[in-house]
Structure 1
Amino acid sequence: MSFEPVWGAPIAWYLFLAGLGGGAFITSAFLRWKHPEAHGMRFAGHIIAPVVVIIGLFLLMFDAEAGLHNPLRFALLLHNPCSVMTWGVVFLAAFVIIALITLLLDCLKKQVPVWLEIAGSVFAVCVGAYTGALLGVCQTFPLWNNALLPILFLVSAVSTGMSSVLLVGGLKFPKEFDSVGVLKKFHYCFPIIELVLVASLCFITSYNSVAGFESVMSLVCGNWAVLFWLGFIVVGLVAPTAVETWLLFISKPGFEETPKAHYIGAAADAGVLIGGFLLRFLIVVAALPVALV
């Protein structure tokens, strides 16, 4: 008899930090393309990317006790090219190496090659999608075994990565923050897309099995309902979207560039980060397995 792994908060943090790091790197690459003058914000993204992913990997090793006591056992993950875990190790290792090299070049005030930033962005996308595929291989958990999950986690990864860079920009580099209008408007779409994907995931999962229905019910009206609606939906998606709508399209001309607006925007970005973690935590803890006979 085989048993599926049961994961908790450490894995949720790992999934969140891995996606956040990939999203931060993608944001830095986007800034190079559309806002090359935002040097401070780009550098912030290059710092965030490897640091948070490395922290997430340590959390993964701590949760996987065998790997904690004998890290060399993680090398065994590389022997099966058909495994999602194997590809995850490859994506994470390649991304961390590229992100660290990029950060070193930035610290040395040297130009980061375009090809290196493109390669890093490709692996960042792979890391963001892999965090969803990692859960999806557990076929007995309907909430995880859904093709939408890697897409949802990738969208959330880019959204949280952009929020982290914008948060630092609004507090530390206000002049650069005021000049990155394209990034702000691009980021504005992601919580809306995420909301649509979450609704679709819940709808599809609730109809594919009894376990799927019960998992969704535990989110929307069960044990995790308060955290889901207030924490994830309101704080993580609706409130940031409402704030950004006001700042970008409704507020008086010039208000967006004031210190008050910077702090309000930083609060909205912090909400997106909270929502990004809660998304992964709730997906991990609310999933119920199909009953095996």
Structure 2
Amino acid sequence: MTYEPIWGGIIAWYLFLAGLGGGAFITSAFLKWTKPEATTMRRIGHIVAPVAVCIGLVLLMFDAKAGFLNPLRFALLLSNFGSVMTWGVVFLAAFTIIALIVLVLDLMKKSVPNWLDIVGVVAGVCVAIYTGVLLGVCQTFPLWNNALLPILFLVSALSTGAAAVIAIGILVKPQEFNEIGLLKKTHYALPAIEILLVASLVFITAHTNQAGFNSIMNLIGGQWGAWFWIGFVIVGLLAPTIIETVTLFFSSPQFEEGATARWLSFASDAGVLVGGFLLRYLVIVAALPLTMVVPML
């Protein structure tokens, strides 16, 4: 008997874009506090954040179908604060409003108050964590119902958000890319943390029950095995880590500031973005539910 996933690519894109938006805003705030001269890259983060989240929300409404036919149904989610979906709407709405206000202030060349950046960072973290909690409340799926998943999605959101800002920054303002050493080194550590979290998630889920074991086998050795190892692990984690290790720690300052290093970093960040999407997609489609056995009377 085969199992058809209840969610697919659209929800994976929603989770990916929501996390990326939160991560991009956090990256922009990080640059403001550590490298305020990088105004263009900060603005890139301010643009990416609301745009990514809004596109993700449109995809969510499209997947829900009834969202376009009767948008007021989404407002009913605010009537139950015991629901994860309700808190998700609150976090997403608050983050989107804050991100848009910050973007308008930035485009008007007005100073963004520190308190607004801090509130936006907190909202961005909540949005990133929520994307993992949304799956985690489904207790019948051991791969989703794991306390590590929200943490993994948060780290991935920070990584993809920074990757998006850096990649666009390389194309738009390459000279600023050479001046954000602290962000590059911070971003470098995130894939390594992801590797540890993914390994822990796989090990714990595989030893939870039979459905958990089957989900992991489906992920790493079944029909999704090639996507997991080649797309996520190699392209999304190992290749970026190797590229950044060479450019940051084993190359001369002249090479690190040259065009070749920038394009290598761009390829690295593109790989991080591919891996970030595949992480969510594979977690969704590879998960298998617990089976219920009804004894014969």
TM-score normalised per structure 1 = 0.98
What residue in structure 1 maps to residue 257 of structure 2? 257
**CA–CA distance in 2 between the matches of 1:171 and 1:267?**
12
Q: Report the 3-state secondary structure (helix = DSSP H, G, I; strand = E; otherwise coil) of the residue aligned with 1:179.
A: coil
- 2:162 corresponds in structure 1 to 162
CA offsets per residue over residues 55-105 of structure 1, 9 Å max, x none? 000000000112221110001111111111000000000000000000000
Q: Tell me the alpha carbon deviations over residues 198-220 of structure 1, each in whole angstroms, 9 at most, x when there is no partner.
A: 00001000011111000000111
Q: Number of residue pairs matched?
A: 289
Equivalence for 1:226:
226
Unaligned runs of 5+ in 2: none
Q: Output the amino acid matched with 2:211.
A: A
Deviation at 1:234, TM superposition (A): 0.2
Q: Aligned partners of 1:227 and 1:71: how far apart in 2?
A: 36
Q: Deviations over 1:96-128 (max 9, x none)?
A: 000000000011111111111110000000000
| C-alpha distance in structure 2 between counterparts of 1:169 and 1:292, whole Å | 51
Match of 2:42 in 1: 42
CA distance in 1, matches of 2:257, 2:171: 12
Superposition pairs of residues 142-221 of structure 1, within 5 angstroms: 142-221=142-221
Quote the Cα distance in structure 2 between the aligned partners of 1:225 and 1:33.
41
Determine the structure 1 residue equivalent to 2:85.
85
CA distance in 2, matches of 1:252, 1:219: 40
Q: In structure 2, what is the equivalent of residue 74 of structure 1? A: 74
Structure 1 residue 6, shift from structure 2 partner: 1.3
Q: Does 1:136 align with 2:136?
A: yes
2:90 counterpart of 1:104: no
Letter in 2 for 1:207: H
Instruction: Give the match's secondary structure for 2:130.
Output: helix
State how far apart, in whole Å, the 1-side matches of 2:153 and 2:213 are: 21
Q: Secondary structure at the match of 1:254?
A: helix
Is contact 1:171–1:263 with CA below 8 Å preserved after alignment? no
Moved more, 130-139 or 162-171: 162-171
For residues 253 and 144 of structure 2, what CA distance do their matches in structure 1 show?
A: 45
| Deviation for aligned residue 1:174 | 1.3
Which stretch of structure 1 is more off in the superposition, 13-22 or 249-258? Answer: 249-258
SS of residue matched to 1:191: helix
Q: Give the Cα separation in 2 of the matches to 1:66 and 1:211.
A: 32
Residue equivalent to 2:245: 245
1:15 alignment counterpart: 15
Q: Structure 1 counterpart of 2:173, which letter?
A: F
Q: 1:14·1:60 contact (CA, 8 Å) conserved in 2?
A: yes
Residue 286 of structure 2: aligned partner: 286
Shift of 1:258: 0.6
1:171/1:262 contact within 8 Å kept: no
The corresponding residue for 2:53 is 53
Equivalent position of 1:126 in the other structure = 126
Secondary structure in 2 matching 1:127: helix
Would the aligned equivalents of 1:95 and 1:123 in 2 still touch at CA under 8 Å? yes
Give the CA deviation at 1:253.
2.5
Match of 2:267 in 1: 267
Q: Residue type of the partner of 1:123?
A: A
Work out the CA distance in 2 between the residues paired with 1:114 and 1:202.
Answer: 39
Using the alignment, how far apart are the partners of 1:108 and 1:211 within structure 2?
54
Cα deviation digits, residues 150-170 of structure 1 (max 9, x gap): 000000000000001111122
For 1:288, what is the secondary structure of its paired residue? coil
For normalisation by structure 2, the TM-score amounts to 0.96
Detail structure 1 runs of 4+ shifted over 6 Å in the superposition: none
d(CA) in 1 for partners of 2:166, 2:219: 30
